[in-house]
Structure 1
């Protein structure tokens, strides 16, 4: 049973009566029947005691009228859920001439205090108090002084009214806690959905960064084989080897990402670690083997101290820069420059001049640089990119490097 279910069990059924007021009488629950029967029996017991006292001093028509009015008042309590205000006023008036109805009157005041706001309860309670004063003079008790009778009436009315208002306050509190628990559960579900959506977006960006590099190699070398069918056998074999290796690497990367989706937070021995700054050299070597001219200029102060997340971002930025240079400036020399030290931050520059000849059309999504800009911003840094003055393309990023 959840917290909301427990609060719903604690919430008395009278609150449902308030919500359904004016919309028709709700069906009584088992708890309603128990409460109504208990109040009926208590009012009847008080009425019997009052009837025995009345029988000592009255007889004939007066005694019969007391008993009939008392019985009618007790039976009228079954209507207290539907007409609490009218019933309380009516029983207060009846109690003036029929003390036997006093128990039913107190029960109706209690029900009224449970269901109605203080202002309405206050003026009806004042009417009941006034009726109790009048009743002392209309039907006095020979064994008790009038002042004592008035005091007892006031005390009983105040007690049942205060008790009812206390029950009402408690029920309102439980209702508020129930609504708060329901809202908290809804907000928790919403936060979980947002977290899942953000995780999917992050995985999608990661998938793009990982696969774009591999698939670009496939596209470039497949295009070279298409446009140069008469190439020497060694060049064809080299291009075919690059295509095979790139396809294998792409499958490995895709398998790794799918493995993360299936079992987040778990990794097997066959899963490769995420790229870091230490694997940047392997990325450059791979690009050189694919026929690119790449110069890596790294002058970092204590590179081993670069945070893992920052190193991964540097790797992705360099990977995207090399991928774009291979697409749009084949044959041009690409320079990857790393500078920085703890406390000052780390800068990454990827630049290439304009290509010498025509550029083959290689389709792309255009989302790589946007994703890298978001990645750098989330890491606390910034990234800019655009055409260089010499007609080439330059990419510059700064990332924080704590001291």
Structure 2
């Protein structure tokens, strides 16, 4: 590194070993990680960048280097399926219920008909009435599956009835009730099914439901006992299997609904976080830019009192330029806030470490007493997030010094290298008019900027001076500028 040269009270250092490559606009990114693809600067603009522009890029995260905050709905795993209309769903449900009711009524009627030979007519009639009531009860099988399964099982044990209604109700119990309840109801339905099959097996061959008569010889072939066992196991297993299948389908549907709800909540939280980040960015930019220009206006105005006529005209021109810069900054920000385009995000114009000398010279021209020492090595290899933070820290420190200690000398020392990071120290003497407690939100904004890069800011009175010390880690640019 070569030594620095004195210029307007400021010493500047360079690194002769690695000259920075030429700047490219596509490589520039600001504190929020956005890319600068154009410039809004015109020939009639004063020295310094314009503070705002609109960008359609995703809102950047708080920490540099992290991916931008974006969200998109999850991609479908297969071809899209059209959801059935509500009317069609209701019709299909009613048709299914009607079919089950008719089947249950027919099944109970058949069971009653085969029981007529063994019992008096009263018992089969009662069984038919109970079977018809159980068949109609299938209409409310989704609301009362346990009661229906247990009632139908008890009826099959006490009366010559089948267990079709109990098996249908068992499907709903397994699908929507706890495991203990499902096991209890399944046991009851299995016992009732076994009893109904055993009753049919013990009847005479001519009154057996599961039998076939040879039309030639007239002999009756009855299903053997193991066949009844197989039929009973198959019926109960089918009911349990359908219930488990429906339970799995309901769980998948509930999980999908929960996932969609969580994604909606997460999207709302991300939107709120994005808005909060933009509000904080707007607050920092307004304080660091507009407030700085207004402080320069006040400084120019104070220098006009008792001045010579030629200096009054020059000071008035300086006031006009500072006020015009503040007006343009506010106009740009208002235009950005009024833009209703979705995805629009606040993107301040980039600044570099090369803009720091111009910032100090502008303050000197306004009458500020500044003694500065600036040494920066490999400025072209520093990220725009780092350079912007350094620029705003210097700017806010000057604004505080001019506002709270007018007429006091400001001593600024800036040392930035890739090896040692960035060290900034701004000192101004305290005057009788200084109110240390009245510091506004400037220091809070400075600490926020430093924290975004993993740095710290320490500010406060030390003896007869107010000292601001900032330490930032060196953040290298992805592409040197």
Same fold (TM over 0.5): yes
Structure 1 residue 114 corresponds to structure 2 residue 175? yes
Match among 271, 275, 282 for residue 351 of structure 2: 275
Shift of 1:70: 3.7
Deviations along 1:93-121, one digit per CA (max 9) or x if unpaired, are 32246555432232222233233222112
Match among 96, 99, 111 for residue 35 of structure 1: 96
Stretches of structure 2 that go unaligned for 5 or more consecutive residues are 1-72, 75-79, 206-221, 477-481
Shift of 1:329: 3.2
Equivalence for 1:398: 471
Following the alignment from structure 2 to structure 1, what is the Cα–Cα distance between the partners of residues 430 and 180? 84
Note the 1:365-384 alignment, pairs <5 A: 366-384=440-458
> Larger helix proportion, structure 1 or 2?
1
Shift of 1:248: 0.4
Note the 1:1-400 alignment, pairs <5 A: 30=91, 32-44=93-105, 46-47=107-108, 54=114, 61=121, 67-96=128-157, 101-140=162-201, 142=205, 143-223=222-302, 225=304, 228=305, 231-262=307-338, 273-354=349-430, 359=433, 366-389=440-463, 391-400=464-473
Judging changes above 3 Å, is the alpha-carbon distance between structure 1 residues 38 and 223 closer, same or farther for their aligned structure 2 residues? farther
Deviations along 1:248-299, one digit per CA (max 9) or x if unpaired, are 01112222333443458879xxx99333211112111211211123233222
Shift of 1:224: 5.0
Following the alignment from structure 1 to structure 2, what is the Cα–Cα distance between the partners of residues 398 and 313? 11
Shift of 1:236: 2.4
Following the alignment from structure 1 to structure 2, what is the Cα–Cα distance between the partners of residues 82 and 388? 77
Residue 457 of structure 2 aligns to a residue whose secondary structure is strand
Stretches of structure 1 that go unaligned for 5 or more consecutive residues are 13-27
Asked if the contact 1:96–1:138 (Cα under 8 Å) also holds between the matched residues in 2, the reply is no
Asked if the contact 1:256–1:272 (Cα under 8 Å) also holds between the matched residues in 2, the reply is no
Asked if the contact 1:338–1:349 (Cα under 8 Å) also holds between the matched residues in 2, the reply is yes
Following the alignment from structure 1 to structure 2, what is the Cα–Cα distance between the partners of residues 78 and 323? 79
Following the alignment from structure 1 to structure 2, what is the Cα–Cα distance between the partners of residues 352 and 111? 80
Residue 351 of structure 2 aligns to a residue whose secondary structure is coil
Following the alignment from structure 2 to structure 1, what is the Cα–Cα distance between the partners of residues 321 and 131? 98
Judging changes above 3 Å, is the alpha-carbon distance between structure 1 residues 381 and 151 closer, same or farther for their aligned structure 2 residues? same
Deviations along 1:129-185, one digit per CA (max 9) or x if unpaired, are 222333344443532234432432232122212321331232123213312321221
Judging changes above 3 Å, is the alpha-carbon distance between structure 1 residues 280 and 341 closer, same or farther for their aligned structure 2 residues? same
Asked if the contact 2:401–2:428 (Cα under 8 Å) also holds between the matched residues in 1, the reply is yes
Judging changes above 3 Å, is the alpha-carbon distance between structure 1 residues 100 and 255 closer, same or farther for their aligned structure 2 residues? same
Higher relative contact order, chain-length normalized (CA < 8 Å, sep 6+): 2
Root mean square deviation, CA, Å: 3.6
Judging changes above 3 Å, is the alpha-carbon distance between structure 1 residues 94 and 386 closer, same or farther for their aligned structure 2 residues? closer
Shift of 1:42: 3.6
Shift of 1:187: 2.0
Q: Kindly tell me the number of residue pairs found equivalent between the two proteins.
A: 373
Residue 350 of structure 2 aligns to a residue whose secondary structure is coil
Moved more, 358-367 or 42-51: 358-367
Asked if the contact 2:292–2:399 (Cα under 8 Å) also holds between the matched residues in 1, the reply is yes
Judging changes above 3 Å, is the alpha-carbon distance between structure 1 residues 370 and 131 closer, same or farther for their aligned structure 2 residues? closer
Equivalence for 1:18: none
With structure 2 as the length reference, what TM-score do the two structures score?
0.67
Following the alignment from structure 1 to structure 2, what is the Cα–Cα distance between the partners of residues 255 and 336? 31
Moved more, 147-156 or 207-216: 147-156
